[in-house]
């Protein structure tokens, strides 16, 4: 059984409400989710996590050896990708070996307006976080 390394992001998951799902890279049984939290007060940081220039936690969540993917309560066998241009994080949770992301989707200005919501659950043997303060965000 793989070790699940959530330190130090676990206690900041609630800070990702209104943050953003920047990108999804899904290859085989591994997936990398590029995420950014909402803006934070640096005084709330109790760990050695470097904030981005905008005062957010940015980085990649590595989900390895995926056992199952479930989107809106339905088993998903395909390749995960961004459904629309922009994914606003409504909820982000990690419990043991399951990552759950609730995403409110929208398109960039000039494209058709969308009102779509996805609950994505990924069960995997290994889940870990890498903080990358200068992670590129195509929308800024």
The CB-side HSE value for 106 (13 A sphere, CA atoms) comes to 11
Residues in the chain: 140
**pTM to 2 decimals?**
0.91
Whole-number pLDDT of residue 11: 86
Whole-number pLDDT of residue 101: 98
CB 19, CB 56: distance < 8 Å: yes
- Mean pLDDT, contiguous 10-residue spans, the chain (140 residues): 56 94 97 96 81 93 97 97 95 94 94 94 94 79
Rounded Cα–Cα distance for residues 1 and 67 (Å): 12
Whole-number pLDDT of residue 30: 98
Rounded Cα–Cα distance for residues 42 and 55 (Å): 7
């Amino acid at each position: 059984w793989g070790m699940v390394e959530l330190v130090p992001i676990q206690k900041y998951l609630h800070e990702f409400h209104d943050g953003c799902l920047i990108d999804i890279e899904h290859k085989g049984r591994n997936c990398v989710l590029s995420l950014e939290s909402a803006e934070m007060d640096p005084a709330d940081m109790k760990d050695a996590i470097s904030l981005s220039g905008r005062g957010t936690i940015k980085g990649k969540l590595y989900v390895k050896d995926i056992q199952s993917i479930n989107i809106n309560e339905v088993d998903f066998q395909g390749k995960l990708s961004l459904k629309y241009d922009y994914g606003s994080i409504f909820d982000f949770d990690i419990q043991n070996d399951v990552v759950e992301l609730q995403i409110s989707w929208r398109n960039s200005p000039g494209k058709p307006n969308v009102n779509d919501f996805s609950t994505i659950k990924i069960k995997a043997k290994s889940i870990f976080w890498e903080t990358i303060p200068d992670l590129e965000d195509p929308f800024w």
